[in-house]
Each structure stands twice: as C-alpha cells, then as structure tokens.
C-alpha cells in the first residue's frame, strides 16, 4: 500500500530568498495529486523536499510517520521514483538498459541484475508501450518516446510513490495526454500515489484527483479538483482572467484576453 505523506509547518529558503513558509499538506495513499502554481512558487522545491533531495529548514515532512531526512537513500529509492522534466542521455544505452537502471537499488552484492530484474524491466516497458524500443538507443528516440522510457525506468523501481516534475512540459499534446493517461491507469490499477508538478491546468483537471495550489510561499488551496480549480482561486494565483466550464462531470479552464487593445488583433 502507498504511504501517507504529511508536511507540517514546512519552511525552505535558497539563501536569503524564502520559497516555502509555514506549508501544511497531506497526501493520502493512491491519489493522483497535481502541484500547481506560477513559475517560482515552490513546486519543484516541494517535490525535492518530499523526495529527500532537499532538507527541510523548519517543520517536518513524514512518509508513513517517518521523517524524510531519516530515510536512507537506498530505502527511499525502493519506494519512491521520479520522472524529471529533462532527461539528457548522452550515451547510446538501449531502452531496456535504461529501464534496468531503475533496478539498481535491488541489485545483489555483486552488482548483477537477476532474471527477475530483467522480467520486471520488460513488464514495465510493456506497461508503457515502449517494448519496441528495448534494443534501440534511447538517444535516437523522440522526446515523447524517451519520456515514456524514463517512466518505465521509474516503474522498474516498483515505487509506491511516483513523482513527476513537469514531466509533460516538453511534450506535444498527443504525447502529453498519452503520458498522463498511462500514469492515471497505473495509479488506479496499482495503487501508486502520484505527485505531479505541472503548469497545464486542463491536464490536471482531466487526470488528477486532487490539487495543491501554491503561491507566495504558501499553499493557497488544496482539495478535490472541482473545489480548487475555481475562477476565484485561479485568478488570484495567476492574476489573469479565466472562465470555468463544467460539463458532463469534466472541468475546463478557458483563458480570457485581459487587454481589449490586444484582443483587437486576435
């Protein structure tokens, strides 16, 4: 079962600049949670704190009531995996070799991959529809294809928590929707908790269960998508006018042109 992740009075600064201050949150097991907010609002920082890459300055973050900074990296890698925005791969590793990197925390003391490791790697490539890239060098794949291979690598860790740090930012619409649909399916069928820092409000509305909306060093709103992605919240945080459409149980955010003079040229 996926763990509960709880943050209390979390504070973090980069030098003199405080990015998060007095932040409280709780992420329940098996939920697909979007972290939303303007650039520089602390989304990636919060992900770094949850994953243990960064250390909390004040307050606590606990995973199953265990402080994150007390979890050894090897243990963390066995239940939490991440898909970053950029995945520069400069060497001609094949798709399967890349996916098997996710099995490093489980290798035996001689550093070898077991038959089980290879079977898990192949299964993860099948789950993400990347098995056709098993023997192809990853640096020859398109951005969307490569990102799905990186997702397979993360799944090879057999994580209970999957973190996406703007993982669809460089993908076109087709690949972004396909990627998010795959993650949603895995969250539902395998009970994986997904935490996704992202910018696309409509992708979040389409696939996520809950939203944490950050701005000005604080969490401005958190809860179900329908309760957080409101006209009031979005306009306050993003400072741009929007209209919210609700139809057939689906929520869509429409941008409005704030400047009449600009609108004349559109």
Residue range 172-196, pLDDT digits in tens: 898 889 999 999 999 999 999 999 9
Let me know: does 27 contact 55? Beta carbons within 8 Å: no
**1-79+160-226: what fold?**
Rossmann fold (3.40.50)
Let me know: does 46 contact 77? Beta carbons within 8 Å: no
Per-residue pLDDT reduced to its tens digit, 68-121: 999 998 889 888 999 988 777 778 899 999 999 999 888 777 678 899 999 999
Please tell me which residue, 35 or 92, carries the higher pLDDT value.
35
Query: How high is the pLDDT of residue 264?
Result: 60
Confidence of residue 25 (pLDDT cuts 50, 70, 90): very high
Average pLDDT of the residues of the chain = 91
Is the pLDDT at 259 greater than 80? The verdict is no
**Mean per-residue pLDDT for 120-135?**
95
Is the pLDDT at 3 greater than 90? The verdict is no
**Mean per-residue pLDDT for 160-178?**
90
Task: Give the burial class of 142: count Cβ atoms within 10 A of its Cβ; 0-12 exposed, 13-18 middle, 19 or more buried.
Answer: exposed
Let me know: does 76 contact 63? Beta carbons within 8 Å: no
Is the pLDDT at 52 greater than 90? The verdict is yes
Read off the tokens for 173.
Answer: 């619409």
Confidence of residue 256 (pLDDT cuts 50, 70, 90): confident
In angstroms, the CA 155 to CA 160 distance is: 9
Confidence of residue 57 (pLDDT cuts 50, 70, 90): very high
Let me know: does 76 contact 52? Beta carbons within 8 Å: yes
**Mean per-residue pLDDT for 211-216?**
96
> E-strand spans in 38-98?
58-63, 66-67, 80-83
Beta carbons within 8 Å of 70's beta carbon, 6+ residues apart: none
Taking the CA atoms of 255, 261, 263 and 266 in sequence, report the sign of the dihedral they define. Answer: negative
Domain extents in the chain: 1-79+160-226, 88-158
Confidence of residue 170 (pLDDT cuts 50, 70, 90): confident
Query: How high is the pLDDT of residue 262?
Result: 61
DSSP structural state of residue 265: T
Is the pLDDT at 261 greater than 80? The verdict is no
Is the pLDDT at 169 greater than 70? The verdict is yes
Query: How high is the pLDDT of residue 131?
Result: 97
């Amino acid at each position: 079962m996926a763990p509960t992740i709880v943050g209390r009075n979390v504070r973090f600064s980069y030098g003199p600049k405080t990015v998060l201050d007095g932040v409280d949150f709780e992420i329940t097991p098996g939920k697909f949670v979007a972290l939303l907010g303007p650039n520089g609002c602390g989304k990636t920082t919060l992900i770094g704190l949850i994953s243990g890459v960064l250390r909390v300055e004040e307050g606590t973050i606990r995973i199953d009531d265990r402080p994150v900074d007390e979890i050894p990296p090897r243990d963390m890698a066995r239940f939490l995996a991440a898909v970053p925005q950029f995945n520069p791969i400069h060497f001609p590793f094949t798709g399967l070799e890349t996916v098997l990197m996710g099995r490093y925390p489980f290798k035996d003391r001689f550093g070898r991959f077991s038959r089980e490791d290879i079977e898990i790697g192949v299964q993860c490539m099948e789950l993400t529809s990347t098995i056709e890239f098993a023997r192809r060098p990853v640096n020859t794949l398109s951005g969307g294809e490569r990102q799905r291979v990186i997702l397979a690598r993360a799944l090879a860790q057999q994580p209970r928590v999957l973190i996406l740090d703007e993982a669809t930012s460089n993908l076109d619409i087709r690949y972004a929707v396909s990627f998010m649909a795959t993650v949603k399916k895995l969250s539902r069928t395998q009970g994986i908790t997904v935490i996704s820092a992202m910018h696309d409000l409509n992708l979040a509305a389409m696939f996520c269960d809950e939203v944490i909306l950050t701005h000005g060093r604080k969490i401005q709103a958190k809860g179900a998508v329908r309760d957080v992605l409101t006209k009031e919240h979005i306009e306050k945080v993003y400072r741009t006018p929007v209209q919210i459409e609700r139809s057939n149980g689906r929520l869509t955010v429409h941008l409005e042109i704030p400047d009449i003079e600009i609108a004349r040229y559109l």
